[in-house]
Amino acid sequence: MKKISVGLLILALCGSFIRLGFWQLDRAAELKELQRPYIEQPMVALTDITQPATNLSDSAINRIVTFSGRYVSQTDAPGQKDKAGTIGTWLVGAFEVNGSGTILVVRSSKNSEMPKGEVTVIGRLLVRQFEDRVAKSDGSLSRLDPSLWVGMSDLPIFDGYVVATSETLNGRKIELPRVAIDPARPSVPGYYWQHISYVVIWWLMALVVVFLPFYGRKRRNDTKGAS
């Protein structure tokens, strides 16, 4: 009975260590994949890849989207960092997409009047921010998260937000300094060769677990032989 228990324990430990090794191997592969340059995909209509009141799918994140409708209000989002690392206050609008829902749109890094009329926006769709950039205060957004904007619109709300690269009001382009950002990249902590070293360690541990019972038996036999 004891031998069976020990055998099962060894199997469980060995299996766990091998699995952990594969997990680190997957992380190393994922990290390598992330280091590849982002390949831009063709522009799509916003409602073709996401709908209001649903979570953004992975495939929708970073897509260049276009949609038309009107701005219903706008506010500031301070403490936002652009591609160059410059921290500033961004102008954010609540945008009602025709026949659909409301989405947050980062309009500019400078203040500007809210356009009145039919606007067509082109921009990059990004996943909502989860950490506050500044302390919460009335009249501004502490992070780009549609759930923070209470009473933004009566329509259902789209997940995520769009960083506008161009806006057209009644067919005329709105000239504004746009926010430059990199496509969002999921982050895997650590470095490629670090994960590979952990693969080596976990699999070495699996070998150690297999080796220990043989070592224990040899040690007992040696002790018996000596006495």
Cβ-based nearer residue to another protein, 81 or 110: 81
Closest Cα partner for 209 from 20, 26, 27? 20
Closest Cα partner for 164 from 206, 212, 107, 100? 107
Closest Cα partner for 165 from 105, 123, 127? 123
Q: How far is the CB of 174 from another protein (least distance, A)?
A: 34
Should residue 193 be labelled a site residue for another protein when binding is judged by CB under 8 A?
yes
Question: Which of 55, 86, 147, 194 lies at the binding interface for another protein (CB under 8 A)?
Answer: 194
Q: Are 93 and 105 in contact (CB under 8 A)?
A: yes
Should residue 204 be labelled a site residue for another protein when binding is judged by CB under 8 A?
yes
Should residue 198 be labelled a site residue for another protein when binding is judged by CB under 8 A?
yes
Question: Which of 182, 185, 191, 221 lies at the binding interface for another protein (CB under 8 A)?
Answer: 191
Closest Cα partner for 123 from 109, 105, 110, 108? 105
Q: How far is the CB of 118 from another protein (least distance, A)?
A: 41
Cβ-based nearer residue to another protein, 71 or 198: 198
Q: Are 140 and 153 in contact (CB under 8 A)?
A: no
Should residue 25 be labelled a site residue for another protein when binding is judged by CB under 8 A?
no
Closest Cα partner for 179 from 77, 46, 65? 77
Question: Which of 197, 210, 224, 225 lies at the binding interface for another protein (CB under 8 A)?
Answer: 197
* Angle CA 51–52–57, to nearest 5: 50
Should residue 190 be labelled a site residue for another protein when binding is judged by CB under 8 A?
yes
Should residue 22 be labelled a site residue for another protein when binding is judged by CB under 8 A?
no
Q: Which residues sit at the interface with another protein, rule CB under 8 A?
A: 189-191, 193-194, 196-198, 200-201, 204-205, 208, 211-212, 215-216, 219, 222
